[in-house]
């Protein structure tokens, strides 16, 4: 939003393709940016996992366990948080397979999940604070890389649970055309984003708990990431424009299921 409103960034690396589309809509990035770099201009990926307290006292192993009575869930508000939209879609993907695409049952599942949410923070950082610093809830739905960072800081207090189905979270990168052309920095900005696909940068991403898109290098981190998870993609949902309108726009499915 800040970039769309005039913050002069040469490049952007954001949680959602939809966020970069909003900068394109402001006239600062040319159409077709998503095809300018490999893998839909996402040099590394993540997915959605569960962070639970050590010993997993509520015996949480999959999305089904998050809708059980007595389980306190922490996740941000998908209306205000990009990361929270990935969380929501991961849950939807699981329920969609469980109920063979029966949208009425899927909505019921998602509604029950959000009924178990104790605090609906505006962003991922606030949700992490609620879970870790304030001790609220039994499970934090989080990006895998963020969960690992929490584990790094509190290795004796938490553990990561990988659900059977999740979503491939693709943080997107783009050159801000209007800015680089004005400042004469297109070449260096482009080279920086190209570098993110290099072997060195892919390994740096892996060491920082992002999944490299280079499949060979990803395998080097198979002891860290659960590569057996089934990962759906945003394309399986019809793309971000469709998802935003259907699920997160005013009057969309999230408003419908979360109405107090």
In this predicted structure, what is the pLDDT of residue 246?
A: 97
In this predicted structure, what is the pLDDT of residue 260?
A: 59
pLDDT band at 113 (very low <50, low <70, confident <90, very high): very high
Residue 233 contacts residue 10 (beta carbons within 8 Å): no
pLDDT digits (tens, 9 = 90+) for 213-248: 999 999 999 999 999 999 999 999 999 999 999 999
Residue 155 C-alpha from the chain's centroid: 22
pLDDT average, residue stretch 154-164: 94
Of 131, 134, 138, give the one whose Cα is nearest residue 113.
138
pLDDT average, residue stretch 76-90: 93
Residue whose token pair is 């004005």: 182
């Amino acid at each position: 939003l800040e970039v769309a409103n005039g913050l002069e960034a040469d490049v952007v690396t954001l949680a959602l393709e939809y966020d970069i589309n909003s900068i394109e809509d402001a006239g600062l990035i040319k159409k077709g940016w998503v095809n300018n770099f490999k893998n839909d201009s996402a040099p590394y990926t993540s997915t959605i996992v569960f962070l639970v307290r050590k010993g997993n006292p509520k015996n949480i192993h999959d999305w089904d366990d998050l809708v059980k009575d007595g389980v306190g869930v922490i996740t941000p508000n998908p209306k205000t948080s990009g990361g929270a939209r990935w969380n929501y879609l991961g849950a939807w993907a699981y329920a969609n397979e469980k109920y063979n695409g029966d949208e009425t049952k899927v909505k019921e599942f998602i509604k029950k999940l959000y009924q178990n949410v104790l605090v609906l923070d505006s962003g991922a950082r606030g949700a992490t604070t609620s879970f870790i610093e304030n001790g609220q809830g039994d499970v934090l739905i989080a990006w895998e890389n963020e969960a690992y960072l929490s584990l790094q800081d509190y290795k004796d207090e938490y553990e990561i649970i990988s659900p059977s189905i999740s979503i491939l979270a693709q943080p997107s990168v783009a050159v801000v055309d209007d800015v680089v052309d004005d400042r004469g920095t297109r070449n260096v900005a482009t080279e920086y984003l190209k570098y993110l696909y290099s072997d060195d940068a892919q390994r740096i991403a892996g060491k920082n708990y992002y999944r490299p898109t280079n499949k060979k290098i990803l395998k080097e981190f198979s002891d860290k990431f659960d590569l057996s998870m089934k990962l759906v993609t945003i394309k399986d949902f019809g793309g971000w424009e469709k998802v935003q309108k259907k699920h997160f726009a005013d009057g969309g499915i999230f408003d419908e299921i979360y109405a107090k």
